[in-house]
Amino acid sequence: MTPIYPGSVNAAGQQATLGVLGGGQLGRMFVHAAQRLGYFTAVLEPDAQSPAGLVSHHHIQTGYDDPAGLAQLAQLCQAITTEFENVPAQALQTLAQTRPVAPGGAVVGIAQNRIEEKAHFAACADVSGVTCAPYAVLETPAQVRAVQDERAELLPGILKTARLGYDGKGQVRVRTAADLAAAWAELGGVACVLEKMLPLTAECSVLVARGWDGQVVSFAPQRNVHVNGILAVTHAYEGNMPPALATRAREAAVAIAQHLGYVGVLCVEFFVVDDGTEHGGLVVNEMAPRPHNSGHYTIDACDASQFDLQVHAMAGLPLPQPRQHSAAIMLNLLGDVWFDASGQLREPDWHSVLSLPGTHLHLYGKVQARAGRKMGHLTITGPDVVRVKAVAHRAADLLGLPGLDAI
């Protein structure tokens, strides 16, 4: 990989341009990071009002698998990435025929399919030191019926569709074999995995960036709290997890990225389970081949954000080891914040929130608020955890956010 330096111009007079498939908020924050360094940007996204498309130099308004659109993106850009894992892996492979693409289509394809993802986790368990929850692949009625006779220890469990599940979508909790059969039918009889329900004590995630040359840097683990399957609060400060557990999670995430030969920013999510030990055990849950919601605090609390590292990795630039300079708590802002208790649209009390010390508001440019839709996030930073927690609790109260007891 020959580095693509910001502000450079090729022989044809073309400005150094980085491209992204997808126009959501992750694409928007990637575009901002790339432009701040001096790159031009191009977004391929069908939505004319997409958050990333509205702020990019170029917006190719077409489907992710449109050959003409992909050709135009490749013509404009010197390197290309993706902002979410559900773009067609084949589109990334097509682009990779003429341009550096990070992450590659094969790796994104693994993350798109829980069956392949879990097989990868199992294959690298010896080097990562962690494995996933006990599970069974369910693709046929016979496999569903066999759970009761052959894998009854998996119940109670969580049935998850192999594809297109995120933020709690495509997931059903089941307690009995009858529940399982009904849930599988409800999900349309598609390929699924059944995971054993574990006694969770916490959830955490680790962000890793790996370059074309194999260089790896990472952030310290962040502890996450979910409400209704959607991330609500991220705790990012020293002491948010027992040190030995945090070190193990960080080493496991790096090992998973190395095993994949990954290039770009990867988020690996873990469960902390009650295994009878003082601090609990670590189980890998899933991975996201991109920057992640739980890492948004890095924009305000670190000297290099996850999006800065995404730009560096895909462009072949050196990867600086990020340093966190402030304790941080991130609050996810869903569309529910824009509605009062009676369901009437209202403007959140930004005046009071932004009067609080250390608050950093990030709204994603989405025109219409809807319940459950990610509209933005609020990061609170400060010199110590006590003050950050106090401000975060007050901000969450002002905005009517759930999960106050988790701050």
* Residues annotated in a binding site for ATP: 114, 160, 165-171, 195-198, 203, 226, 285-286
Structure tokens at 164: 């297109």
DSSP 337: G
CA–chain centroid gap for 269, Å, is: 9
The alpha carbon dihedral of 171, 177, 183, 187 has a sign of: positive
Distance, in Å, from the CA atom of 66 to the CA atom of 45, rounded to the nearest integer, reads 11
**Residue 106: half-sphere exposure toward Cβ, Cα within 13 Å:** 6
Under DSSP, is residue 3 helix (H, G, I), strand (E, B) or coil? Answer: coil
| Buried/exposed 43-65: b ≥16 CB within 10 Å, e otherwise | bbbeeeebbbbbbbbbbbebebe
Binding-site positions read 114, 160, 165-171, 195-198, 203, 226, 285-286
Q: Are 273 and 280 in contact, with CB atoms under 8 Å apart?
A: yes
Q: Are 307 and 349 in contact, with CB atoms under 8 Å apart?
A: no
Structure tokens at 219: 């952030």
* Pairing relationship of beta strands 40-44 and 58-60 according to DSSP bridges: parallel
- Looking at the chain, the number of H-run helices and the number of E-run strands are 13, 17
The alpha carbon dihedral of 286, 289, 293, 299 has a sign of: positive
The alpha carbon dihedral of 54, 56, 57, 58 has a sign of: negative
Q: Are 30 and 52 in contact, with CB atoms under 8 Å apart?
A: yes
Q: Strand locations in 30-134, DSSP E?
A: 40-44, 58-60, 79-82
